[in-house]
Structure 1
Amino acid sequence: MKYRKLGKNGPEISVIGFGSWAIGGGNWEMSWGDQDDHQSMESVRAALDAGVTFFDTAPVYGLGHAEELIGKALGSDRDQVVLATKCGYLWDENQRLVKNGTFDSIMREAEASLRRLGTDTIDLYQVHYPDTDAHAPADETMRAMEQLVKDGKVRYIGLCNYTVPLIEQSMSVRHVDSLQPPYSILVPQAERELLPYCLEQGIGVVAYSPLASGLLSGKYTHDTRFADDDWRSKHKAYTGESFKRNMDRVEKLKSIAARLDITVPQLAIGYALAHPALTSAIVGVRRPEHITSILAAAEVELDHATLAEIRAAVAR
């Protein structure tokens, strides 16, 4: 495993991070389907054994279940890792997901996450989405995050799914330690503005969905159909003609990966980590082999010609 410093002020973390979205299970609207908790626990242990030190979760993953499971699985190794969770995206009494970045809501969420994780401090606390429901401005949300740092309940602060103007508004209150945007071979939009900005400002970047939520796993075909309880069955990128076009792109990537003697997922992680702004890439994990099969990606080095070839292969 390799390690990089998270921005100019943050800790060193593994270049491959553990993503816990799927292990939340099947009881919420963005579920990946049912998940076996014992298998999830084994996956955490496999990641620890492999040298993974960055574990990312969120309250909405299984409506609290993923946080509880991650806290339990880490156990006595809790202090050996950088534990990241999120706020600003929660559920109401009808289990409907809502965005709320108000000061009081963030403070309540932090206490709830600390209890579920079974820890006294959250290493990296991230705003999951900008507030578009309660309409709290970004600087109000950041004041709550800053207060949590002053109270000793949070060490570092991150943002997810933010635009540059919203990051700048947040930076007027305090420095942002990290950004978590979607970033992959198939979703490269962060390269245009977000990644250069973060590099310039000393903000660490942790990419989520570097495998494009499975599209770059190399295991799907044009005939794949996702189960009804899998959120991808309702998303256009994973259904119909869009899915078939994405599979065409993956076929082109397979030939590049084969020439380099690596897998498509390893190629995808290598592509993400090749960007100088990137600190780590989060891999979604449901089974131990999801971690063990990707470890070689930490060693993948892609030259400029190969990166250009990859971009050309998936160009729309």
Structure 2
Amino acid sequence: MQTSRLGQSELFISPVGMGTWAIAGQGWEYSWGAQDDRESLAALEAAVEQGVNWIDTAAVYGLGHAETLTGQLLQQVPASRRPMVFSKGSLVWDANSGQISHSLAPASLLAEVEASLRRLRVEAIDLYQIHWPAFPATGPSDGIEAAVAALATAKQQGKIREIGVSNFDVAQLKRAQAVAPIASLQPPYSALMRDAEQALLPFCEAAGVGVIAYSTLQSGLLSGSMTRERIANLPDDDWRKTRSADFQEPRLAPNLALVEVMAGIGRAHGVSAAAVAIAWVLRAPWVTGAIVGARRPAQVGALLAAAQLVLSAAELGEISRYLPAGMGTNVPGQVA
């Protein structure tokens, strides 16, 4: 795949990268349900074989399990094809209860970096991001400056290559930039979640901050394979079933109508609705890369087709007629 520079950093990334939230396994608060680790690794390896050069993970995904899996992948793949690894910190958990909490304390973040290095089995993490400035999202974001300064120290020590942030607004991003160069922002962005278009993404483009979009398929809702029946049959420990408003009425019906439109456009190109949804995200000039997730290797190719798909003005116009009137928000309560 062709690569693009991530902001003003030294990282050049493929337009699509693999996320690991969905493969983090069960037994934690934001689980997608049971998952076979062998299939997870096979999916990641298939993506690397097809040109993906970065994996996005986080310490909290599966309470360390997603990072451990990513570390296994890095050991399996020959050095010549080894992808870059991006991780995130600031969400920590109690070792006994598994309860997740938030901390921007420098000592906590530096300890998280060390733990991530061990799980990933690398000497340096290519991009290390502050996962949330506050959690829940409506909480106070005190400590941003000290947190970024701590990561700047880790960068000087060679433990991370670049500093990124996730789920920051413009004001919070400016505070971070005042302390150290910020390579990238990771915001939620999809056809169903467009709040960032108003100010945040244009600011990043003007400021030279790279953008890595997450939730590009709205947690699988825009994949083309999600039906009412499948949603009803999701396991009870899949957070989407009961905690995502987009998977419930009154949003569900118009959301599925949008998917049908994307599926029709996809058929004309010989690609899936998922590829159309991802290409819609990548059409934006301010987006450097889009995170996608796959739980099985057979799912990977259909997602990566988005990297070569260019939607026409007419197709974009057709999609726009089915976009929800509100900008949409589904962030509070998520860990992505």
* 1:172 matched residue in structure 2: 178
* 1:69 matched residue in structure 2: 69
Alignment of 1:55-94 (within 5 A): 55-75=55-75, 76-77=77-78, 80-93=82-95, 94=97
Deviation at 1:186, TM superposition (A): 1.2
* 2:2 matched residue in structure 1: 2
Q: Does 1:273 align with 2:282?
A: yes
* 1:43 matched residue in structure 2: 43
In structure 2, C-alpha distance between the alignment counterparts of 1:307 and 1:209, rounded to whole Å: 19
Q: How far does the alpha carbon of each residue in 1:120-173 deviate from its partner, in whole angstroms, 9 at most, with x for none?
A: 100000111113478542111111111111111000011111100000000110
Identity %: 39
Q: What secondary structure does 1:158 align onto?
A: strand
Q: How far does the alpha carbon of each residue in 1:183-238 deviate from its partner, in whole angstroms, 9 at most, with x for none?
A: 11111221111111111111111111111111111012233312201110122211
In structure 2, the gaps of 5 or more residues are 326-336
Q: Please, what TM-score do these two structures have when normalized by structure 2? A: 0.90
Alignment RMSD, CA only? 1.7
In structure 1, C-alpha distance between the alignment counterparts of 2:171 and 2:79, rounded to whole Å: 35
In structure 2, C-alpha distance between the alignment counterparts of 1:61 and 1:78, rounded to whole Å: 25
* 1:129 matched residue in structure 2: 132
From the superposition, tell whether residues 193 and 305 of structure 1 become closer, same or farther in structure 2 (CA, over 3 Å).
Answer: farther
* 1:228 matched residue in structure 2: 236
In structure 2, C-alpha distance between the alignment counterparts of 1:134 and 1:98, rounded to whole Å: 13
In structure 1, the gaps of 5 or more residues are none
* 2:27 matched residue in structure 1: 27
Check the 8 A contact 1:159/1:176 in 2, yes or no.
yes
From the superposition, tell whether residues 276 and 19 of structure 1 become closer, same or farther in structure 2 (CA, over 3 Å).
Answer: same
Match of 2:305 among 296, 310, 314: 296
Q: What secondary structure does 2:55 align onto?
A: strand
Kindly provide the amino acid, as one letter, of the partner of residue 197 in structure 1.
Answer: F
Kindly provide the amino acid, as one letter, of the partner of residue 132 in structure 2.
Answer: Y
* 1:161 matched residue in structure 2: 167
Q: What secondary structure does 1:145 align onto?
A: helix
Alignment of 1:94-105 (within 5 A): 94-105=97-108
In structure 2, C-alpha distance between the alignment counterparts of 1:180 and 1:295, rounded to whole Å: 19
Check the 8 A contact 1:253/1:313 in 2, yes or no.
no
Kindly provide the amino acid, as one letter, of the partner of residue 162 in structure 2.
Answer: Y
Q: Please, what TM-score do these two structures have when normalized by structure 1? A: 0.95
Tell me whether 129-138 or 280-289 shows the greater mean CA deviation: 129-138
Q: Does 1:117 align with 2:120?
A: yes
Q: Does 1:138 align with 2:144?
A: yes
In structure 2, C-alpha distance between the alignment counterparts of 1:140 and 1:303, rounded to whole Å: 45
* 2:264 matched residue in structure 1: 255
Check the 8 A contact 1:283/1:291 in 2, yes or no.
no
Q: What secondary structure does 2:69 align onto?
A: helix
Q: What secondary structure does 2:27 align onto?
A: coil
Deviation at 1:246, TM superposition (A): 1.4
What is the total number of aligned residue pairs between the two structures? 316
* 2:221 matched residue in structure 1: 215
